[in-house]
Amino acid sequence: MLYHFCMMKGSCIVICILVHKDTIKLADFGLSKRIDESSNIQSKIFGMVTYVDPQTFNRKRDSNNKVQIYSLNKKSDVYSIGVLLWEISSGRPPFCNEPYDVGLAMEILHGLREKPIPNTPDDYTKLYTDCWNNEPDNRPTINQVVAKLHVQLSSEQQNVVETPSNNLLHEEMSKLIQNFNNMNTKEIQISISSEKNIDIIVNEIILLLDNVEMDDRKHKIINYLNNHNIILQEIYSWLLNNHNNSNSFFLLGVFNHFGILINVDKQKAFELYQNAANLENVSGIISLGYCYQAGIGTSIDYQKTFKLYQKATNLGSARGMYNLGNCYYSGIGTNIDKQKAFRLYQKSANSENTPGMYFLGICYYYGIGTNAYKQKALELFQKVANLGHYMAQCHLATMYENGDGVKKDINKAIYWYTKSAEQGYQDAQNKLNTLIN
């Protein structure tokens, strides 16, 4: 285990590389309790600014003028490793004499880096400067970093000059290589001990769940965590220790509902959703409504389902609008009203809710609550399929297979059936098998 410390304005920043059971974790235990009780949120956010991929601070907007959030990834890990390699050579944290604020973040985003330390081997300097390249695609992979460290260590062992600085660098590199030797280098996992980081991740997961079908929640959560190299146990532990947070109640409910890391406990899920709903958590309100709809941990009560979805809709939830539309579509706790269902799907779709867009496409395809308009249905299915909605992908494939509202294209049909089947949608798999056999 390698530790790196920086004392800064009453707080202790700690970066360490942990090795346990052939897995490396890049952990930051920064922003431990500050001596200054008046510290603000901004100082906490920027406490680790020198180690974080600067692309995090690069605000970009899409064609709809919405801010696109940069998600940390494997190349972000490599950036952090590069900073640590520089720190090993220097014996001090980067920019430790400067305030860790938005100004420094912007300078780093625009190319500011620490200068190489004199007498540092050129290959070692090139390695960490490649790692902290501003453009993620130009950074090496972690496997390449490990391979180059191996080569450099072998060379250093043959040519080492006995000076205190070289001995220190050699010793640290030896430890790092020894740790890398014991792991599978396919990936680095990030230990996200910073409370602020976990809070952001929890919020992102909740936003993700707002746009997926109920039966796809477990799959999407696990994929999100794997794609971001996040440790599931750490998220779960954080949720257990933050019961004063309505999002924690809700997400713990999801874990119990679908058996994520723990055994399925539908009664516990119901209670947790109820706790979140009591705190006016919209996701909790919607999930509690679903429990009453499907009898999850409680008796079926369609009237309560309808009232809860109505409440979520009144709070402005696009997912609530979609679920309420389903009530009017199927007569759940109310009379069937296809026109109201169509209008609610439309409102949900206008707020970019994925299931809402899909069911609006269904309405246009079959002429439910509106006139049939297959071109509009095709556009909606295409948009939602690109967002990964497995039912939209299957429906789009069927349209291409049959030349229904679009020019027949078997290759596109196979492509979209495959995309849907890869997400475990059996109907798509069956149609794919029929098409290609």
- Quick one: pLDDT at residue 213? 87
Residues 186, 183: Cα–Cα separation, whole Å: 9
Lowest mean pLDDT among 117-126, 170-179, 212-221, 344-353: 170-179
Residue 274 lies in a domain: no
Average pLDDT score over residue span 11-34? 42
At residue 191, what are phi and psi to the nearest 5 degrees? Answer: -90, 115
**pLDDT cut 70: percent of the chain above it:** 76
Residues 6 or more apart whose Cβ sits within 8 Å of residue 90: 114, 117
Task: From residue 14, give the alpha-carbon distance in Å to each of 8, 259, 310, 399.
Answer: 11, 34, 47, 55
352 alpha carbon, distance to own chain's centre: 18
Residue 230 lies in a domain: no
- Quick one: pLDDT at residue 9? 35
Final residue of a structural domain among 98, 129, 155: 155
Residues 273, 249: Cα–Cα separation, whole Å: 7
- Quick one: pLDDT at residue 427? 95
Residues 341, 280: Cα–Cα separation, whole Å: 25
For Cα atoms 392, 396, 399, give the angle at the middle one, nearest 5 degrees: 145
- Look at residue 434 and tell me whether its pLDDT is greater than 80: yes
Residue 200 lies in a domain: no
Residue 325 lies in a domain: no
Q: Which of 111, 101, 49 is nearest to 80 (CA)?
A: 49
Residue 337 lies in a domain: no
Residue 305, CB-side half-sphere exposure with 13 Å CA sphere: 23
- Look at residue 1 and tell me whether its pLDDT is greater than 80: no
Average pLDDT score over residue span 301-314? 98
What value does the mean pLDDT of the chain take? Answer: 81
- Quick one: pLDDT at residue 54? 87
User: Which range, 17-31, 73-87, 369-383, has the best average confidence (pLDDT)?
Assistant: 369-383
Residues 387, 215: Cα–Cα separation, whole Å: 17
Residues 264-273 pLDDT 10s? 999 999 999 9
The 3-class SS string of the chain reads: CEEEEEEECCEEEEEEEEEECCEEEEEECCCCCCCCCCCCHHHHHHHHCCCCCHHHHCCEECCCCCEECCCCCHHHHHHHHHHHHHHHHHCCCCCCCCCCCHHHHHHHHCCCCCCCCCCCCHHHHHHHHHHCCCCHHHCCCHHHHHHHHHHHHHHHHHHCCCCHHHHHHHHHHHHHHHHHHCCCCCCCEEECCCHHHHHHHHHHHHHHHCCCCHHHHHHHHHHHHHHCCECHHHHHHHHHCCCCCHHHHHHHHHHHHHCCCCCCCHHHHHHHHHHHHHCCCHHHHHHHHHHHHHCCCCCCCHHHHHHHHHHHHHCCCHHHHHHHHHHHHHCCCCCCCHHHHHHHHHHHHHCCCHHHHHHHHHHHHHCCCCCCCHHHHHHHHHHHHHCCCHHHHHHHHHHHHHCCCCCCCHHHHHHHHHHHHCCCCHHHHHHHHHHHC
Residue 56 lies in a domain: yes
Residues 56, 70: Cα–Cα separation, whole Å: 5
Residue 379 lies in a domain: yes
320 close to 313: Cβ distance less than 8 angstroms? yes
- Quick one: pLDDT at residue 98? 83
Residues 152, 131: Cα–Cα separation, whole Å: 16
Overall size of the chain counted in residues:
437
- Quick one: pLDDT at residue 74? 85
More confident residue, 306 or 423: 306
57 close to 106: Cβ distance less than 8 angstroms? yes
Domain count, the chain: 2
- Look at residue 167 and tell me whether its pLDDT is greater than 70: no
Residue 351 lies in a domain: no
Q: pTM, whole model, 2 decimals?
A: 0.57
- Quick one: pLDDT at residue 156? 56
Residues 6 or more apart whose Cβ sits within 8 Å of residue 357: 348, 349, 380, 383, 384
- Quick one: pLDDT at residue 106? 82
The token pair that represents 42 in the structure block: 């901004």
- Quick one: pLDDT at residue 24? 46
| Residue 8 bridge partners (DSSP) | 11
Domain region containing 40: 5-155
- Look at residue 334 and tell me whether its pLDDT is greater than 60: yes
Residues 6 or more apart whose Cβ sits within 8 Å of residue 241: none
Residue 259, CB-side half-sphere exposure with 13 Å CA sphere: 3
Any idea what the CATH number is for the domain that residue 11 is in?
1.10.510.10
Task: From residue 162, give the alpha-carbon distance in Å to each of 90, 125, 155, 172, 213.
Answer: 17, 20, 14, 15, 63
Residues 179-195 pLDDT 10s? 544 544 344 444 444 55
Final residue of a structural domain among 127, 155, 183: 155
Final residue of a structural domain among 155, 170, 193: 155
- Quick one: pLDDT at residue 191? 46
Average pLDDT score over residue span 52-66? 73
The token pair that represents 412 in the structure block: 């596109």
